[in-house]
A and B are shown apart, each in its own frame.
Chain A
Amino acid sequence: MLEQIEGSQAVARTVAMCRPEVICAYPISPQTHIVEGLSRLVKAGELRPCEFVNVESEYAAMSVAIGASATGARSYTATASQGLLYMAEALYNASGLGLPIVMTVANRALGAPINIWNDHSDSMSQRDSGWIQLYVESNQEAVDVHLQAFRIAETLSLPVMVCMDGFILTHAVERVELPEPEQVDAFLPPYEPRQLLDPAEPMTIGAMVGPEAYTEVRYLAHYKQMQALDVIPEVAAAFEQRFGRSSGGLLRSYRSDDAETIVVALGSVLGTIEDVIDELRDQGVSIGALGIRTFRPWPSEEVRSALEHAKRVIVVEKALSIGIGGIVSQNVHGALEGTAVTIHTAIAGLGGRPITKSSLRRLFADGIAGELTGTTFVDLDHSLVDGESERMMQTRRSGPHAENMLRDVGIVGAGPV
């Protein structure tokens, strides 16, 4: 059914149709509307049987999900930003134990400085946690990919993170086709784990493993996640067959088959990028885009075949690996090893800074003109950083950057100049 609906509410309704048996929730912006929506559905009796547990931290949220999933219950939670970091230890545990928990990450920046707005710093920081990471471009895709996420997770016995841009998607009200419950039931069979905590068949889960077998356990974790490169397209195909729309999968190419320049990105910014590409195509520029829908496992071969014919690739990413630069671009470099493709890294949209069409036009033009070098910080305010850079030249004990910059612009309470 087509509805004009907020992204979070659409996700909440969709998750409810997946019949999770345990939902644990801890508030953090911008994911909160999702669990609020689910709480209402559980409390009103529209989603049952389901236990909605208001926990005391994200660490507990993931831990409750671990206990519930190990007991055979379909388990769901949602988080963002600091919350994802706070549950980091439990994330690795959930994947190590092979528990098919599904979690929405409403992507948000990480502090300090505290910042509630969107970028991908949070989920990118957990790219090695053993979770499958799916990134969605629109609220329609968020709905569709959540349905697929439970099926992927339970097929592989691996946890899945559905990453959707905080505020940009979670709080956007737009037209979304919500599935019918019967369709969902037909697409997603009940969760039947191979092993679980059951007094009828006592089993030890989470035993210690030493050097004699730890490598083998990790190898198998990697092997299993790589199998997702087959399972994810299969589930996307099954979804398309049943629901009649294409969503999810590993990658999505946009006007890139013959493109000299291909822009690589994840999430909602792809919409803006595609608009700019349309305009540039009208002007005769050979440019296209590649959307990364599955970031973990990394579809290296698919990325290679999607990009290897290009002259240059511009990776636009909303996260920064401090000390090296781009994160997605490192992965793209790996996929294109041995090819002649030039790869540029553009860090954009950190902490919610809008990525505008004019900025992208400038970036793409610079890339095509061969003027991009190293890592580009899109729309960086040089005047703001120059003062601080100078101070750092004068003394290494220069203090925190954010506070120094506040002082430079004369904010009251920022301390003596």
Chain B
Amino acid sequence: MTATRLKYFQTGSFAAGNRLVNPESRSVQSGAERANAITCGHRACQGCGEALGARYALDAAMRATGGDLIAANATGCLEVFSTPYPESSWQLPWIHSLFGNAAAVSTGIAAALRAKGNTHTRVVGQGGDGGTVDIGFACLSGMFERDDDVLFICYDNEAYMNTGVQRSGATPPAAFTTTTQAVGEEPGAPWGQGKSAPLIALAHEIPYVATATIADLRDLEAKVQRAMSIRGARYIHVLVTCPLGWGTPSSDSLRVARLAVETGIFPVWEGAYGDVTAVTKIRHRLPVEDYLQAQTRFRHLFKPRRRDALIERVQARADRNIRRFGLIDPVEYDPVALHVEGGS
């Protein structure tokens, strides 16, 4: 009789509140002493990936610094939903200046601390993809190249959600936005445009760059913690889902983020001084179709008629990520490859 080896995914995972791991390894969020840096009562949509990502990232940074932290925020959803007059969700010193200058404001805070001989207080800058990869990019690049002692976190939901879902430089091809409508020969956002902010960050040869998603919040916490153990310019790019802009049920936020990882759409990696140093392997590779069909922003790829050519182009992008970052060990079973070869 052959014994079947069972794999218990729950054991050894790092889900929040997981009581099966030893106390030191438990997530920041599962601890009663968490900072609640962004506390409840804010006005984010139900299922907001950015609120979730910011909460985990900042609480992890708060723990890493013993609460000795200042945050600078770009204009955007996170700023608007957290500080409606006369309320504020922020339990740490927090400043919002403008849409495009959060990285430079962070630089200024860090410079002031240095001038005052304060070596213990740390600085986090944060913004959405618009405030980071588009309008804030010059300030971000300047902060990187000067190696200012700032961790900048981008919560990337792939469009200008605060203003009503317009295309940004982080919007993927074929995605519907209100400035890239699902009409014409190539519906949705154009192909051959957009940029990878984390790879550009890496090209600055700063001490730490990482990507993460809200599908693996323990990974996000660990990366923030690692970033806070390093001095100099650091960057974490977090993929966060947006129920409104992506057209997903609020209850699907984590699932869709996980699909972005498992399909190879969003590679999760770490880098330092210009090189990628670690990647998160894909555990169960899935075809991009699973990811696309879960969101109405890609509905036009399937209705009123299937656009196989466009779906294949998205698949090719994911495949390239998998090859480029080595997201799957070559020896592993590859269902998508078989699936494609089988022609079904």
Once the chains bind, are B80 and A208 in contact (CB under 8 Å)?
yes
Q: Are A93 and B116 in contact (CB under 8 A)?
A: no
> What 0/1 readout, one digit per residue, does chain B (121-153) give for beta carbons within 8 Å of chain A?
100000000000000001101100110000000
- What residues on A are CB-neighbors of B262 within 8 Å? none
Interface size on B, residues (CB 8 A): 45
| B100 is an interface residue with CB less than 8 A from chain A | yes
Collect the chain A residues with CB atoms within 8 Å of residue B142's CB. Answer: 55-57, 60
Taking A97-B97, A207-B96 as contacts, is the C-beta distance between A50 and B115 under 8 angstroms? Answer: yes
CB contacts (< 8 Å) of A49 on chain B: these are 115-117
Partner of A53, one of B90, B101, B107, B116: B107
Does B83 contact A67, Cβ atoms closer than 8 Å? no
Q: Which of B84, B97, B138 contacts A208 (CB 8 A)?
A: B84
Judged by a CB distance under 8 angstroms, whether A266 is at the interface is no
Binds A, one of B13-21, B63-71, B195-203, B314-322: B63-71
User: A59 touches which one: B69, B72, B92, B101 (CB < 8 A)?
Assistant: B101
Which chain A positions have C-beta within 8 A of B69? 199
Other-chain residue from A53, A69, A203 in contact with B146 (beta carbon distance below 8 A): A53
Q: Which 5 A-B pairs have the closest CB atoms?
A: A67-B108, A56-B142, A63-B104, A73-B112, A63-B101
B180 at the interface (CB under 8 A from A): no
Using known A-B contacts A60-B142, A197-B93, A202-B90, determine if residue A21 contacts B112 with beta carbons closer than 8 Å. Answer: yes
Contacts of B86 in A (CB 8 A): 207, 213
Residue contact B85 to A207, C-beta cutoff 8 Å: yes
Closest to B142 in A: A56
Closest Cβ of chain A to B73, distance in Å, is 8
Q: A49-B115, A63-B139 are in contact. Are A198 and B101 (CB under 8 A)?
A: no
Task: Apart from A50-B115, A70-B105, A208-B84, list 18 A-B contacts with CB within 8 A.
Answer: A22-B112, A51-B112, A54-B146, A59-B100, A63-B108, A66-B108, A67-B106, A67-B111, A73-B116, A199-B67, A199-B68, A199-B92, A199-B93, A202-B93, A206-B83, A207-B88, A208-B96, A210-B85
Q: Footprint of B on A, CB under 8 Å? A: 21-22, 24, 49-51, 53-57, 59-60, 63-73, 75, 89-90, 93, 97, 197-199, 201-210, 212-213
What is the distance, in angstroms, from A287's C-beta to the closest C-beta of chain B? Answer: 47
Contact B95 A205 (CB under 8 A): yes
A–B complex contacts, Cβ < 8 Å, 27 sampled: A49-B116, A51-B114, A55-B107, A56-B139, A56-B141, A56-B145, A57-B138, A57-B142, A59-B138, A63-B108, A64-B105, A67-B107, A67-B110, A72-B116, A75-B112, A89-B100, A97-B97, A198-B93, A199-B69, A199-B121, A202-B92, A205-B96, A206-B73, A206-B96, A208-B80, A208-B96, A209-B85
Q: Which residues of B are found within 8 Å of A212, using beta-carbon distances?
A: 85
A93 and B108 contact, Cβ closer than 8 Å, known pairs A21-B116, A60-B139: no
Are B85 and A69 interface neighbours, CB within 8 A?
A: no
Provide the residues of chain B in CB contact with A66, threshold 8 Å: 97, 101, 105, 108
User: B30 at interface (Cβ–Cβ under 8 A)?
Assistant: no
Check A202 against B94 for contact (C-beta < 8 Å). yes
Q: How far is the CA of A205 from the CA of B71 in the complex (A)?
A: 10
Chain A residues whose C-beta falls within 8 Å of the C-beta of B108 in the assembled complex: 22, 24, 53, 63-71, 73, 75
A204 to B90, Cβ gap below 8 A?
yes
B113 at the A interface (CB under 8 A): yes
Given the complex, which residues of B lie within 8 Å of A56, measured CB to CB?
A: 138-139, 141-142, 145
